[in-house]
Amino acid sequence: MLTGEAVRLQLNPGQERRLEAGHQWVFSNELKTVDTSVPPGSPCEIISSRGKRVAVGFFNPRSLIAARVLSRGELEPDFISARIRAALEYRKSLGLERYGRIVFSEADFLPGLVIDAYGPLVVAEILCAGMERQKPKIIAAINEVLSPKSILFKNSSPFRALEGLSSENTSEGHVPEEAEVHENGLKYSFSATACQKTGFYYDQRDNRAFLAQHCSGRKVLDLYCYTGGFALAAAAAGAAEVWGVDSSQPAVDAAIKNAELNKLRASFRREDAERVLAALKDGSLPVKPDVIVLDPPNLVKSRKNLGAALRLYGKLNESALRGLPSGGLLATASCSHHVSREEFVHMLRGAAVRSGRRVSLVELRGQAKDHPVLLAMPETEYLHFALLRAV
């Protein structure tokens, strides 16, 4: 249960339909009034313009997402522990309870909370003020349900600033210098405290395994390689040669270490991916790959820069397609909830036209199964992945 008196929030006429259909956010412009004196993260009761109760949740008057829904009925006692337990049971059905995403925020009905498991280490991220106020209960629930040796809160996301929260990392128990991931028969080591986000991009697990099937005997270039996920999956699958580039030297160092850990042959270096693509496009790159992995970071920080970001995505994909030989493959991804699947495909179609190549879609995919998509909330479907073949 939530402690404290619930703030009563009234929706403007017609705004309850999306919530009643299952969406979990209320935006500030959908509310009749916003009382800025209310502390961020306060419990709230959301009512329709006619006075009917619609939901209960967290309220933050300083955020564009003014309310995050927790329940459309009565909120169950110890809901945090109960929902983490339910989320874990689903991951157990996937065989991912030790290495995988255990809680995926709204998709697991714990808005603003992300929990990843790395064997004995749990890394969590809190993204909203309401969950921040529940942190002691979150710690207790993680210990009760997951029984880790240590918990690291990687609370450094820029989204925290939008909620009026500071950026800081805290821990419970001794956090090891290096954490390890077991995935698809490979091991990946990374620095838990210095890594990006919660440490490892579990959302691409299934796509790494899928792409590996197409890499045997091929030359593979992994752009934005981070700690070597796609590159090493390709090397393990029998790729003839593998190169990886990333603009982060710590990421490159980790990729080199991971290649050694798995006794795989792959070359990694610090380099700007756009420069590599430009050289590939004009034919000056000495490397001649026939598989390119293009998995850039989130380029869409807000809805207002969506157009510019899509143009940049298009430019990157056009350059990659131009640089492929006949029959070459491009594995390309976008990881922003602002980009819909339709917009992603439309961007790829435009890039194919501008490249002057005939391009076929081998397969269109999404995020791994431990990142479930809530049908009523399109924002939970944020990762789009396509394998293209240039003819």
b vs e for 279-305, b when ≥16 Cβ sit within 10 Å of the residue's Cβ? bbbeeebeeebbbbbbbbeebbeeeee
CA atoms of 344 and 300, how far apart (whole Å): 12
Instruction: Please report, in angstroms and rounded to a whole number, the separation of the first and last CA atoms in the chain.
Output: 58
Give the model's pLDDT for residue 196.
66
Comparing 79-176 with 193-390, is the CATH topology the same?
no
Where are the domains positioned within the chain? 7-71, 79-176, 193-390
Which residues sit opposite 329 in a β-bridge?
291, 389
* CA–CA gap between residue 11 and residue 16 (Å, rounded): 7
Which residues 6+ apart lie within 8 Å of 286 measured at CB? Answer: none
Phi-psi region of 294 (alpha: psi -120 to 50; beta: other; left: phi over 0): beta
CA–CA separation, 250 and 98 (whole Å): 25
To which CATH superfamily is domain 193-390 assigned?
A: Vaccinia Virus protein VP39 (3.40.50.150)
pLDDT at 162: 84
Helix ranges restricted to H, the chain = 16-20, 79-94, 129-133, 135-146, 159-162, 205-212, 229-236, 249-261, 273-282, 306-323, 341-355
Residues 147-199: tens digit of each pLDDT: 999 999 998 888 888 888 988 889 999 998 888 999 999 999 988 877 666 77
CB 391 within 8 A of CB 357: yes
pLDDT at 1: 60
Q: Residue 282, SS3?
A: helix
Class of domain 7-71: mainly beta
Q: What pLDDT, in 10s, does the model give residues 337-389?
A: 999 999 999 999 999 999 999 999 999 999 999 999 999 999 999 999 999 99
Q: Specify burial of residue 271 (Cβ count, 10 A radius: 0-12, 13-18, 19+).
A: middle
Q: What is the pLDDT of residue 5?
A: 82
**Contact call for residues 22 and 375 (beta carbons, < 8 A):** yes
Per-residue model confidence (pLDDT) at position 158: 82
Q: Which CATH number fits domain 79-176: 3.40.50.300, 2.40.30.60, 1.20.1250.20, 3.30.750.80?
A: 3.30.750.80
| Stated length of the chain | 391
- Quick one: pLDDT at residue 192? 80
Question: Which one of 44, 195, 215, 335 is the catalytic residue?
Answer: 335
Mean pLDDT of the chain: 94
Spans of the chain, pLDDT less than 50: none
Residue type, 264: L
- Apex CA 95: angle with CA 94 and CA 98, to 5°? 125
> Is the separation of the CB atoms in 241 and 217 below 8 Å?
no
Between CA 199 and CA 362 the distance in angstroms is: 30
Residues 289 and 340: their CA atoms lie apart, in Å, by: 29
- Count other C-beta atoms under 10 Å from residue 345's C-beta: 14
Helices (H) and strands (E) in the chain, counts: 11, 19
Active site residue 215: no
